[in-house]
Amino acid sequence: MTYRIMRAEDYDGAFALWQSTPGMGLNSLDDSREGIVRYLERNPQTCFVAEEADRICGTVLSGHDGRRGYFYHTAVAREKQGQGVGSRLVELAVEALKAQGITKVALVAFSENENGNAFWEHQGFTLREDLSYRNLRLKPL
């Protein structure tokens, strides 16, 4: 398994992985090629892939706003789960964010995504029950 910075040309393999991963919550605007390339351009050193035999087996999109880091689209191919791939991707992203001066990371996981929530708990992320997450859609999907 090779771990490296995610590039725009990884989009097709990453998107196929996301589509096959339960609980991802993809949308046609933000997760389009253009949306992901824009995210990678804004966060060129904090997004990673795991690759084996020229196939994307894992991803983590991470970035920050100057204060807080955020994780998105952390996914590992079903047959590679439980082998430390996701943990290594998270470790790489955390180290990259620390190198940019970020001291706290947040993420959103769907409540019904039991596997995802168990993974994040195992990574040391705690559940915040004192918050209400809210959205305002600025552009229709």
The predicted structure's pLDDT at residue 14: 98
Q: Going residue by residue through the chain, which has 141 residues, state the pLDDT in tens, using 9 for 90 and above.
A: 999 999 999 999 999 999 999 888 898 889 999 999 999 999 999 999 999 999 999 999 999 999 999 999 999 999 999 999 999 999 999 999 999 999 999 999 999 999 999 999 999 999 999 988 888 988 877
Residue 139's pLDDT is what?
Answer: 82
Evaluate whether 56 touches 9 at the Cβ level (below 8 Å).
no
Query: Domain 2-122 class?
Result: alpha beta
Pairing state of beta strands 2-5 and 69-76? unpaired
**Residue 15 token pair:** 């998107």
Three-state SS for 136? coil
User: Which bin fits 7, alpha (ψ -120 to 50), beta or left (φ > 0)?
Assistant: beta
- The set of residues, in sequence order, having a beta carbon less than 8 Å from that of 138 and lying 6+ positions away, is none
Give pLDDT, residue 29: 87
Domain residue ranges of the chain, discontinuous segments joined by +: 2-122
Bridge partners (DSSP) listed for residue 3: 50
Residue 60 contacts residue 71 (beta carbons within 8 Å): yes
Return the structure tokens found at 100: 């940019």
